[in-house]
Amino acid sequence: MADIVADLTLSYAQKILAEAENRLQAASRKFAPEQKTEFPNTTYFLPIIYGLLGIEVRQLKDMEQALKVCRQILQDTDHPLKPVSRPLDAGLAAVFAEEIIEALNYVERPGMFVPGEEVSSENIWLGAADDLVIRRRGVEFVDGRVSGFAVILGAAPDRATAQKIAEHFLEKNLYVFMVGERRGQHFACQLQEAGLQLGWGARLVSFGPDTNSVVFPLGFATRAAMSFGGIAPGDFARILKYNQERIPAFVLGLGAVSEDWAANAVAAANYGFPTILDSELPGLPEAYRSIVITNVPHEKIVARALSTRGIKIKVARVPVPVSYGPAFEGERVRGEEIYLEAGGGKSQAVELLLMKSMDEVEDGKIRVLGKDVDRLKAGARIPLALLVEVAGKKMEQDFEPILERQIHHLLNYAQGVMHIGQRDIAWVRISRQAVAKGFRLEHLGQILHAKFHQDFGSIVDKVQITIFTDEAQVDGLLEEARGIFKRRDERLEGLTDEQVDTYYSCTLCQSFAPDHVCIVTPERPGLCGAYNWLDCKASMEINPAGPNQPVKKGRVIDPVYGQWEGVNEFVKKASRGAVQAFDAYGILRTPMTSCGCFECIAALLPACQGFMTVDREFKEMTPVGMKFSTLAGMVGGGNINPGFVGHSKFYITSRKFLSAENGLLRLVWMPARLKEEIMDRLIKRAEQLGESGLLEKIADETRAQTEEEVLEFLRKVNHPVLSLPPIF
């Protein structure tokens, strides 16, 4: 029997290779051989070619080397992939050629794709994700907020079906990546017509209008292996295995199967991503039936796709009249969509969670004191206060701020509800669409009551919520809340590493970086910035078998660099021997490992005898000669690289920030925006060190861009690093 999949794949691979060769020849007549040919804002070049072949396609002239490999594959001669089977490799040859074509599109058709994370009113196609997007969104796969991604190829028969499929995936915490068309229709356009927001924030990512755009989600997966798995470019076997084991994804083909679809499905199969079709594929050989599922009805296609890839979803039921799930967290409610708004500088909004005794809380009691939505006109701006009172036998006052911080994402999970900020700078918007479905302010209370019981039932026995919209009552709670916030902050700020005998681990990121173990102390928060010592303490109480385990410090080995016998033993065991020990307070010897979720990276500037730090939002070159994305590749994946370390923004102003090497007194460069963001804390810490003018002595990109320029600036302002003893 003829192998229909192999025939379609080989036929398309030959055609797309010829097209890529023709496009390259035409481009070579228009542009110089040194013409840049890269996806924007990435150091991974063309990521599939770079990841699987190790070829750096930087310029037009570099493309020929990749096309040569494609020809070798299709001629069945020796080539770098050392084939498992010719059809599987031919599928990869096809995507290599497609990646060349998309790179040429960036050169020849500027404006074809929208830069950044959000679509525009004129263009919905986002193209390749830059390194900032990869790092930011990759974290969601690490910490469990995302269950996987679906690559939708083609279009649904109508927009109602498209909306239903997309919302089912979103409710189950998956990203939806969209490429290609079906009879001139695009799935992304169908969703836009149905009124859904598109973009990375909405988890509905419209990559491109053509089948070639499959290279963008496959490139995302390839970069995940290099970024978070620490796998070297060119190690194709480990990259593909990493995706097979750690990236829950699949392809959904909506429409009749064509040869370009077949080839890309075969390419995806190399990554362990099966293809689920709503159409039949006559003559499908038995060998493909585990990776190509055909003729699945639309009402069953989501469930079938999840089960085929082995993705198990536990969807929590929340009694609200709108869709609910983490996928709606990035949704924005703007302009004419707004029915009600509170906070955001336009009115006052505050939220407070307090521990009470068991007899002070009536479980499930939800009150709205003041006007609810049904008594307000569209576009209303109101004051708002949320008071959550909880009681539990295992509840502790230290858990109040941890639970309070959950309000942000728990409310954001409701479709049509936007929540920004916390404490007394909260900002809430509710959309007209949500109100039309019956959403009311009391449903904010319903969400919090249900989710606190579901997520924190081990410490919370009772929950009651009071929602205030009366201005005088809001002001009264605001005054009380600010006093409580102040006392909480003072207590946490006063807690030191020396005062406790137990630290906490965080191994959330081991699903992506098996060798990485984060140790969280009172003065060294998690490098992702999401977990401090009290958070981990609460997390352990809530989930004793979870990723935050108590770590007894044990005997002090080195108080200056921060090494303890108990910590080293835990790290060695948790990393399966890959990491024997690390320094909590130093960068020069054996700094702490990282996954890839760090907010910032610190690096040594040898000529300056100091450190620079850069956050992931900074996309330009740094004085160390590398962009953030390049630094991230060195530091991430559980690697230990002396002279480089990942850390949180908060850690910069900690008493223990690289304290083994004089800490903040050696900080000589950081991005101007980051400096402004942490200015108040930076000034306070500098004053504690007796250097009140330090802020102005730290260079940024507006004053120095190379290490030589940084050194010149330091001498000009007489930075304190010049008076310190040599660092090595």
What pLDDT does 63 receive? Answer: 97
* pLDDT given at position 434: 95
Residues sharing a CB contact under 8 Å with residue 557, sequence separation 6 or more, in sequence order: 563, 564, 565, 568
Q: Which tokens hold the place of 517?
A: 């173990």
User: In 284-416, at which residue ranges do the beta strands (DSSP E only) sit?
Assistant: 292-293, 338-343, 349-355, 366-369, 380-381, 384-391
pLDDT tens column, 643-688: 999 999 999 999 999 999 999 999 999 999 999 999 999 999 999 9
Residue whose pair of structure tokens reads 């362990």 in the numeric block: 272
According to the model, what pLDDT value does residue 629 have?
81
Q: Are the C-beta atoms of 645 and 591 separated by less than 8 Å?
A: yes
Distance CA 409, CA 328 (A): 10
Residue 288's closest CA among 303, 310, 266? 266
SS3 540: helix
Cα dihedral 529, 532, 537, 542 sign: negative
Low-confidence ranges of the chain (pLDDT < 50): 1, 84
Tell me how far apart the alpha carbons of residues 148 and 244 are, in angstroms, rounded to a whole number: 12
- C-alpha separations of 314 from 147, 171, 173, 306, 408 in Å: 10, 10, 10, 12, 21
DSSP-based three-state secondary structure for 524: strand
What is the side-by-side order of every strand in the sheet holding 644-647? Answer: 644-647, 600-605, 610-615, 667-669
Q: Residue 611: its pLDDT value, please?
A: 97
**What is the model's pLDDT at position 1?**
34
Q: What is the pLDDT of residues 503-524, one digit of tens each?
A: 999 887 776 777 889 999 999 9
The residues facing 428 across adjacent strands are 342, 419
Cα separation, 170 vs 322, whole angstroms: 13
Per-residue pLDDT, 347: 93
User: Is the torsion defined by CA of 703, 616, 122, 96 positive or negative?
Assistant: positive
Question: What radius of gyration do the chain's Cα atoms show?
Answer: 27
Planar angle of CA 54, 149, 131, nearest 5 degrees: 45
Phi and psi (nearest 5°) for 339? Answer: -100, -40
**C-beta neighbour count of 362 within 10 angstroms:** 12
Q: Which residues pair with 518 in a beta bridge?
A: 506
- For the chain, list the domains and their CATH numbers: 4-108 (1.10.8.190), 334-410+422-490 (3.30.1650.10), 497-723 (3.40.1470.10)
